[in-house]
Amino acid sequence: MKIAVCVKHVPEGVKRIDASSKRLDRSGEGALNAFDANAVEEALRLKEAAGGGEVVLVSLGPAKAQDALRKALAMGADRAVLISDDAVAGSDLVATSYALAKALERENADLVLFGQQAGDSDGAVLWAAVADRLRRPMVSQAAELTHGDGKLTVKRQTEFGYDVIETPLPAVVAVSDAINEPRYPSLKGIMGAKSKPQETLSLADLAVEADRVGTDGSRTEVYALNAPPSRGESRKIDDDGNAAQQIVDFLAEKRLV
C-alpha cells in the first residue's frame, strides 16, 4: 500500500502579515504543521498494520521546508517530495491545489492523507480541492481508519456523533487531531532521516504552467489590511498591589456592582 501524506511548513511564533505583499510573513523560523503530524502518524500505522508499503511526503514551499519534512522522515516516512519554485510564491488555495495534484498524480498513491487544517491559515478546505482535481472520493474529520479488502473504513467525527463511511481506494482523507498521538522521532530515526531520499521538484519537472500558480494563478486577492476596530473605552490597570480594588472601583463607577 502506497500512502502519500501532504504536509506543510508553517511559521513558528507570532504570525504577522507583511504590509507590502499583504501575505503572511514566512521569513522567520518554521516547523511541521502540527495537524499534519497526525496524518503522518496515521500513515505509518496503516503501513505497519498492512505489513509493508511506502509512506511518501508531498509538500509545496520554499527550500527551508525541507526542515519540516525531515521531522516527518524521522518519524518513519520513507521519502519526501518538495515542490519548490519561486513562481509558486503567493499561491492561494486554487493554485496550491493544482500544483499538489500534479505531484500526487505523479506518485499515484493508493491513499492521500492530509491533516485537517494548517496552523497558519486554518482554511481546512485544501484536501477537498485536491480530491476534486484528482477525481477521487474524499472523507474529512477522520477519527479512525481501517484498511481491508481494497477499501477504507472511516469513522468520521461530527458535532452530533460519528459517521461510519466506507470508500474504495484510491481516496483522499483528512484526519482530525483526535485520531492519534503522533510519535516522537527517536535518535535513530533522526539520524536515519538524513539519508532518506528527498526530492526537490520545479514546476517544469511537473509540467505545471507557471500562469496557473503564484499570484497569476490565484483566484483570490487581498485589497487592503486594516487594524481591528476599537472595542470602545478601556482602562489599563498596572498591578501595584491594589489592582483588585481598582477593578472594583471601575465597576462601581460604571454602576455594574
CATH code, domain with 204: 3.40.50.620
- Give the pLDDT confidence score for residue 132 in this predicted structure: 96
User: Which 3 state secondary structure label does DSSP give 228?
Assistant: coil
Number of domains in the chain: 1
Residue 238 resides in a domain = no
Residue 86 resides in a domain = yes
Give the list of residues 6+ apart from residue 20 with CB closer than 8 angstroms, or none. Answer: none
- Give the pLDDT confidence score for residue 137 in this predicted structure: 96
Beta bridge partners of 155: 144, 164
Residue in 120, 162, 160, 121 with CA at minimum distance from that of residue 139: 162
Query: Which parts of the chain have pLDDT scores under 70?
Result: none
The answer to whether residues 126 and 93 touch, using CB atoms and an 8 Å cutoff, is yes
Q: Is the dihedral of CA 137, 139, 140, 142 positive or negative?
A: negative
The answer to whether residues 44 and 75 touch, using CB atoms and an 8 Å cutoff, is yes
Residue 173 resides in a domain = yes
* Beta strands in the chain, from DSSP E residues, in sequence order: 2-6, 9-11, 17-18, 23-24, 30-32, 54-60, 79-83, 111-115, 138-148, 151-158, 161-168, 171-175, 198-201
- Give the pLDDT confidence score for residue 139 in this predicted structure: 95
Residue 200 resides in a domain = yes
- Give the pLDDT confidence score for residue 113 in this predicted structure: 97
Which residues form the domain of 38? 2-217
Range 100-109 burial, b when 16+ CB lie within 10 A, else e: bbbbbeeeeb
> Pairing state of beta strands 111-115 and 138-148?
unpaired
Residue 68 resides in a domain = yes
Grid cell listed for 166: 466506507
- Give the pLDDT confidence score for residue 200 in this predicted structure: 95
Residue 142 resides in a domain = yes
Q: What is the DSSP letter of 39?
A: H
Residue 41 resides in a domain = yes
What is the phi/psi pair of residue 98, to 5°? -65, -50
Residue 225 resides in a domain = no
